[in-house]
Structure 1
Amino acid sequence: MIEIISAGIAPGLALLSYFYLRDQYESEPVYLVLRSFIFGALLVFPIMFIQYVLEVEKVFTSEFLYTFIAVGFLEEFFKWFVLFFTIYQHVQFNEHYDGIVYGVAVSLGFATLENIIYLFANGVEYALGRAILPVSSHALFGVIMGYYLGKGKFSIIKNRTKWIVLSCSIPILLHTVYDSILLNYFNWKYIMVPFMLFLWWFALHKAKKARIKIFDSRLP
């Protein structure tokens, strides 16, 4: 039991620590990051219940619609909802990169509890594969979500709606592509590897841009 919990938690904490420590100028309060992580974890059970009902009731006859709405939209929208209504207006969200820290925290809270449940059901031998794919992809979706939410908060008023919409819609789209690759392709590994490389590049590029904006704003 301890082995499964440790294997389930470790990748999420490692990724959260990585992005947290990249905040070079003003680290976010640990309690607020932990609160975001817990809020993300609390989303797992209602989302799993809704997904179970949708699957059992066969609401979607199209596999793409199920992937898009029941997985991509449902998971990313509720993570975005938590991020927007608990962090966006918070006084501690005072720099562009902060959105990334909190976006990653919410996403990894969700991914970590989901990972522990999966490992309990299927075995600890899946821990490495889960760390490389589902856990890391959730973290990267969180980076992208937080980046665009930061753009929304620190842009001029007329552009804010655009960035806030993108902070939700781009992660939904990327999550849908990710799950579509897993579900619809027999040789999914040959497509997933370049997709994950792109996802890492895209997310790290956005994180770097957010840090540069902080540096520029601090120049005299």
Structure 2
Amino acid sequence: MTIIIMLVAALLPAVLLWLYVWKKDPQKEPTSWLVKATLLGVALCIPVAILEMGIETVLFGVDGGPTNLADTTIMAFFVAAIPEESFKLLALWLILRKNPFFDEHFDGIVYAVCIGLGFAAMENVLYVFNDEEWVTVAIGRALLAVPGHYAFAILMGFYFSIYRFVDKSPKIAVCILLVPVLAHGIYDSLAMSSIVDPSIGGISVLVLIYFCVKMHKVARKKLLALKEVDKCDNESSFT
């Protein structure tokens, strides 16, 4: 029974956010494609974890780790943010490059969120099932980590759609990866800072919460903006 509760605690946050975006989509994507994108996100965890362990070993040694704030920032960006968001972008490109249903602005966000939450769900399971204090871990990740991956995915999907349908400039192309990497890296830098400097742990948590609130506001605006663009396009097609 405990295993079932742990599994629900690990998966429920991602499932709820997945359903939220699915409900927001005015023109629903085929379920088979959404499931495919989600499972692709789940599958990313294995190669990403292997790559991250390799990078961490190169940067900090076999038994080493971050010892100061500069190290945690390096780890946040080069061990976590860059590899994870790069693989998510690769998955998004693979799922959309020959997808005949990718025909609306909002679709980029939908598929990016499926991939991001698939990854977050699998990552959550690994964290929850590998910690004796799994209840605390599950609650903390439900409030911050899983919604974080959700927000990163919205940012990636937004710029992916803008590049596809609106503006194929190099600036937008760079933003597809750069913006979610920056958001992810800043998030992880704040989250990891208390590991090496407990004296600023409380401040870091407050700053992290503030950053997450602002990030989600930005993500929500971008989500609603693409939804409104599609609404206007659909209305104009009938006039």
TM, length-normalised to structure 1: 0.93
Aligned partner (choices 77, 82, 87) of residue 73 of structure 1: 82
Matching of residue 207 in structure 1 with residue 223 in structure 2: yes
Q: Deviations over 1:172-204 (max 9, x none)?
A: 010000001111252222101110110110000
Runs of 4+ in 1 over 6 A off after TM superposition: none
Matching of residue 151 in structure 1 with residue 167 in structure 2: no
The offset of 1:89, in angstroms, is 4.0
Contiguous gaps of at least 5 residues in structure 1: none
Aligned length: 217
Contiguous gaps of at least 5 residues in structure 2: 194-199
Q: Distance in 2 between matches of 1:29 and 1:161?
A: 31
| Cα distance change on mapping 1:104 and 1:173 into 2, 3 Å | same
Aligned partner (choices 75, 88, 113) of residue 122 of structure 2: 113
Q: Deviations over 1:37-72 (max 9, x none)?
A: 110111111111121222234358852222211111
**Root-mean-square deviation (CA), in Å?**
1.6
Matches within 5 A, 1:84-103: 84-103=93-112
Q: Which residue number in structure 2 is paired with residue 217 of structure 1?
A: 233
Matches within 5 A, 1:29-40: 29-40=30-41
Q: Distance in 2 between matches of 1:88 and 1:167?
A: 15
Q: Deviations over 1:123-161 (max 9, x none)?
A: 4312121111110100110011101101011015xx344
Aligned partner (choices 183, 192, 197) of residue 208 of structure 2: 192
Q: Which has the larger radius of gyration?
A: 2
Using the aligned pairs only, state the percent identity.
27
TM, length-normalised to structure 2: 0.86
Aligned partner (choices 136, 139, 156) of residue 150 of structure 2: 139
Aligned partner (choices 8, 14, 21) of residue 12 of structure 1: 14
SS state at 1:66 partner: helix
